Structure 1
């Protein structure tokens, strides 16, 4: 006599990955549409959307590459992703990019950023004069003089207001020397 067990007679094996009876340890990512382990998912505070860490990382990187620093949940809930919450799952270069963009944004808001006007230098400089108006500056990289107010090479013998009133044709180095000689 042959005895066979049917599937309804077999005792179900306990799944190691289940967290509670009948509950799967897998979650569904709304971006890549894959089921991932819960530890691979990124929880967004104040939001019920479900995304895997890889997709959130790619979402953040894409926004940062577009110079967007206020990064929203990829769902339509308008929740903002915070750098500190994302820091553990993002690659170091993405975190560094986000920090750099936030710093640059802050500098732009305070008006403290300017560039060396010489095309072969163009170094990013910080204007830390704390409200004091400074015109003549030396670039710490190329060591040439420029006007921090007009954002051009230094215009000796002519103040910024007078320089700004000149036409583009009158602003050349030779033109400025002729004006100086005439005076």
Structure 2
């Protein structure tokens, strides 16, 4: 890459060629610019120098009420002059905002159920969870970590610990690997060891591990569902929710037709639960109801 940027070698790859051209255009904007080859182990220092250079151009010294001089910077969101040590720099893009603005931005994104990205328009840099501890409550940092893990695991791969006091999220491959390190025969038996609370549970029944009993025998010995399962079933019936037979997640129809495509990809009829094949129903239920299509006098 260094040889290509300096012009010693012509790039062969189209994407790299475009990138080199962009670098060349940026170089022309400087009065003096000489590329330097930096070892991989020193890249972090290059980023730090670049960050310090940016900060030096947008800050200025100012006296506070006690007569002490401190560096100030204007937040481009609220336009308040803020102490530099209360300014947050987004990793990867170096866009800078005050702690209160970043706190509000991240909290709104969490309420929307998404991960926070840089507030700068068009910037796609992700806000690092590790650095959010500067302005966020530790509980919110933990929620962000959980959201990131949830997003990284496919719906069909997600496993939650059945113990109410734990409920840790794991992937099927993660919990199997962890179980195999301390338990023989876990893959065949269905026994899994939670990576957080370290208790065993059944991957098939999603209940605490039933020692010396098959899943069939366990279900026969426990014909009555648990209290929390009863509450969920009661709520589902009252709200007319449906359960996906593939991933067991609950689905609610807010509006639209009765053809449901679950997050796991399974397609079924919301009325009776019958599977859809090749985008066609296998049941004779109506595909839609006018009450679910019309809202506030307007068709959706």
In the superposition, the TM-score normalised over structure 2's length comes to 0.34
In the alignment, the residues of structure 2 paired with residue 97 and residue 135 of structure 1 have an alpha-carbon distance, to the nearest angstrom, of: 25
User: Residues 156 and 247 of structure 2 are in contact (CA less than 8 Å); yes or no, is this contact kept in structure 1?
Assistant: no
Q: Look up the match of 1:151.
A: 248
Pick aligned residue for 1:74 from 113, 119, 122: 119
1:137 maps onto 2:221 in alignment: no
Q: Which structure has the higher relative contact order (CA within 8 Å, separation 6+)?
A: 1
| Residue-pair matches, total | 129
Between structure 1 and structure 2, the one with the greater Rg is 1
Q: Look up the match of 1:50.
A: 96
1:61 maps onto 2:107 in alignment: yes
Query: How much has 1:139 moved relative to structure 2?
Result: 3.6
Query: How much has 1:80 moved relative to structure 2?
Result: 1.9
1:168 maps onto 2:214 in alignment: no
In the alignment, the residues of structure 2 paired with residue 88 and residue 34 of structure 1 have an alpha-carbon distance, to the nearest angstrom, of: 19
User: Residues 117 and 126 of structure 2 are in contact (CA less than 8 Å); yes or no, is this contact kept in structure 1?
Assistant: yes
Q: What is the root-mean-square deviation in Å for CA atoms of aligned residues?
A: 4.3
Gaps of 5+ in 2: 1-61, 177-186, 191-201, 209-224, 230-244, 250-267, 275-300
Q: Report the 3-state secondary structure (helix = DSSP H, G, I; strand = E; otherwise coil) of the residue aligned with 1:26.
A: strand
Query: How much has 1:91 moved relative to structure 2?
Result: 1.1
Q: Look up the match of 1:17.
A: 69
> Which structure carries more helix by proportion?
2
Q: Look up the match of 1:180.
A: none
Gaps of 5+ in 1: 1-13, 19-24, 153-163, 171-183
CA 125–86 in structure 1, closer or farther in 2 if over 3 Å, else same? closer
User: Residues 114 and 125 of structure 1 are in contact (CA less than 8 Å); yes or no, is this contact kept in structure 2?
Assistant: yes
